[in-house]
Amino acid sequence: MRSASRIVTVFFALAAVFSPLSAWGQTADELQKQIDDHNAQIAALNKEIAQYQTQLDAVSEKKQTLQNTLSQLDISRKKIAASISVTKNQISSTQLQIQQLSRGIASKEDSIQTEAAALGESLRRLDEMETETFVVQVLTSDTISTVWQDIDAMQRLQAAVQDHIRTLATEKKTLTETKNAQEQKRAQLLAQQRTLVSQQGSLDATRKTQSELLAQTKAQESTFQAILAQKKAQEAEFENALNDLQSQLKQTLDTSSIAPAKKGILSWPLDSVKVTQYFGDTSFARSGGYNGKGHNGIDLRASIGTPIKAALTGVIIGTGDTGSVRGCYSYGRWVLIQHSNGLDTLYAHLSQISVSKGQPIGTGQIIGYSGQTGYATGPHLHFGVFASTATQIMRLGDATKLKTPCSNAVMPIVAPLSGYLDPMSYL
């Protein structure tokens, strides 16, 4: 009986000795220093990326010449390389944080096991005490006061046991939360790895574009300007065929199924927004672009490799690359998403596509990366909003008698012309 107070003392001593704060101390400090180093590198790289973006913006404002185009490509490559370095550092930092979590979990498990053992021993001794009758306790004790002291010690032991049961439950909950945090970190790490792979693909596409441009021009400005003129002429042929097709498809647009125009229905497909050409009768359209029929979307400034995001939840109903057809200068690499509100959204001139037909997509999810494919006089995103009931994906040559370099290209076709909607009315 007189061992009750000793049990309480031993119980608390065990809990103190195995406190998780005493474990992993030096290693945790080392890990934290490595994490801080990675974060410092990330901050420096982000500053470098911002400087590259400023340079890109300045170059894109200048007249399109061979030198400016090559400068833009070179800066884009540096920006993407810096972005990849940021991602790598973020992955390393996340891995180190996961190590911290793992060590914390191991320390917590040791503490729980130790306290569980001490709790078990305390419960065993408590059970022995409770099985003795009060008469036996009086007969085996020196005085009646000793009995009451032992009873008091037993009550304090019971309170201590209850406290440690609550502590154990709290620590188990903390352990579960820590494990969940670790799983989330791992998921983030995997997402960062996928982003890294996609960014690397855009970097490769940029290098290929630069190599092709150098091979075509042989560094001669006159050759470069001739290529631009050829692209414009072939794009005009495409527009003629498209207009011919739309005049043949005498359809009436059913506006009842289309979401009424309202700001905020769609999200911007880019994190940083700069509109370089609006919808409809723009100055570029009046100068002869699009065969004088107006611009069927909006253009957004986006250096090669910029992540492009879905403007609204929907389903990918088509992807393609008109550039795979020799001499076809139109959308280049494109993605078309159908939404439940009667709208389709088009993303064109991409350097890389990250989704596939039939895939559900959420608002803000990355669908690809910006580029300069198709009829694009510089890197940008062409963003279009179409009425779903007026949009079809087809081979251009199957629907028009006019023969153009784009006859074998598969792309979204909108008819009647009223099926083209102004994106600014929904953004």
Q: Which residues pair with 391 in a beta bridge?
A: 414
Please give the tally of structural domains in the chain: 2
Shared domain for 304 and 368, answered yes or no, is yes
Residue 148 included in any domain = yes
Shared domain for 110 and 47, answered yes or no, is yes
pLDDT-derived band at 343 (thresholds 50, 70, 90) equals very high
Shared domain for 176 and 247, answered yes or no, is no
Tell me the whole-structure pTM to 2 decimals.
0.63
Tell me which of 200 and 249 has the higher pLDDT.
200
Residue 219 included in any domain = no
Shared domain for 203 and 91, answered yes or no, is yes
Q: Tell me: the pLDDT tens digits for 302-334?
A: 887 889 999 999 999 999 999 888 878 789 999
pLDDT at 233: 64
Rounded to the nearest integer, the mean pLDDT of the chain is 76
Q: Tell me: the pLDDT tens digits for 243-289?
A: 665 555 555 677 778 989 999 999 999 999 999 888 877 665 555 55
Alpha-carbon distance of 368 to 337, in angstroms, equals 12
8 A C-beta contact, residue 374 and residue 238: no
Quick one: tokens of 187?
Answer: 């998921």
Quick one: tokens of 371?
Answer: 């580029």
pLDDT at 362: 97
Can you give the residue range of the structural domain that contains 33? 4-209
Q: Average pLDDT of 354-381?
A: 90
- Point out the domain boundary residue: 175, 209, 243: 209
Shared domain for 277 and 195, answered yes or no, is no
φ, ψ of residue 235 to 5 degrees: the values are -70, -35
Q: Tell me: the pLDDT tens digits for 56-94?
A: 677 666 666 666 777 777 777 787 778 778 877 887 887
Shared domain for 184 and 267, answered yes or no, is no
pLDDT at 7: 45
Cis peptide upstream of residue 360 (ω within 30 degrees of 0): no
pLDDT at 17 over 50: no
Q: Average pLDDT of 396-415?
A: 80
296: CATH = 2.70.70.10
Alpha helices in 141-288 (DSSP H): 144-217, 221-248, 283-286
pLDDT at 391 over 80: yes
Residue 220 included in any domain = no
AA identity, residue 186: R
Quick one: tokens of 156?
Answer: 């304090």
- Sign of the torsion formed by the C-alpha atoms of 112, 114, 120 and 125: negative
Residue 218 included in any domain = no
- Point out the domain boundary residue: 209, 240, 266: 209
